[in-house]
Amino acid sequence: MKLSEAKAVITGGASGLGFATAQRIIDAGGQVVLLDINDELGGDSAAQLGERASYINTDVANEESVQAAMQQAKATMGGITLAVNCAGVANAGRALGREGPWPSANFNRVIQINLVGTFNVTKEAAAIMNENEPAEDGERGVIVSTASIAAFEGQIGQAAYAASKGGVHAMMLPLAREFAAFGIRVNTIAPGIMLTPMMAGMTQEVQDSLAAQVPFPQRLGHPDEYARTVQYIYETTYVNSETIRCDGAIRMQAK
């Protein structure tokens, strides 16, 4: 697989890690469809990327929305060879907070978007990839999902987020084993503390404090470092069913 020939769908593609990945694909010569729920930002981001990019409003937690978006993306690009799951929320709350137990509805929302949303996109992308003509080595497509270091070292207040990202990591192997028969690889990236728009909105003091916790390099991660990891996975056929940490060797403490 060459990034220059990629036909990619990217959830959460209007900003942050998703947009950085889209930019790298476009720069390489590929095509991208951004799937997001922010229409204004999605349209602006697609326009910024140029004529080989487009935007489709997509709620990853809604199966019908995902199905419609994937079919539209397929028609737009003439197929799909790469799906990157970046859409997610990071709602935090203690299970037993000052106001009492955390509502299960909050927990369910995180699971529905981060985990079920990833599954929705993965299965629909795989169905379309299975229609591709196989490459010389039999490969038809690649799926890259986004977990988090919280999947392994979830902090206090991250029960829902850690559970959702742990689920993304855990379902990778059975999906990779299943899709092997179709020539579709499934991998996951577990980012550390990345300089996304959400992080950029925090004070410099907070950013510096978080960066100081990273062993090396002692800074926040750049979104393009995530995007380069996607490229490595896409172009390296023998990488399958792997979760790659992109975190500067940080290991999160309890709080």
Q: What share of the chain is helix, strand, coil (3-state, %, to 5)?
A: 45, 15, 35
Is 161 one of the catalytic residues? yes
Q: Which of 161, 226, 232, 234 is catalytic?
A: 161
For residue 82, report the phi and psi dihedrals to the nearest 5 degrees.
-145, 130
Sign of CA dihedral 215, 216, 222, 227: negative
Which helix (H) or strand (E) element contains residue 5?
none
Query: How many Cβ atoms sit within 10 Å of the Cβ of residue 193?
Result: 20
Across 31-183, where does the E strand assignment appear? Answer: 31-36, 53-57, 82-85, 96-97, 100-101, 141-146
- Give catalytic residues, as residue numbers: 161
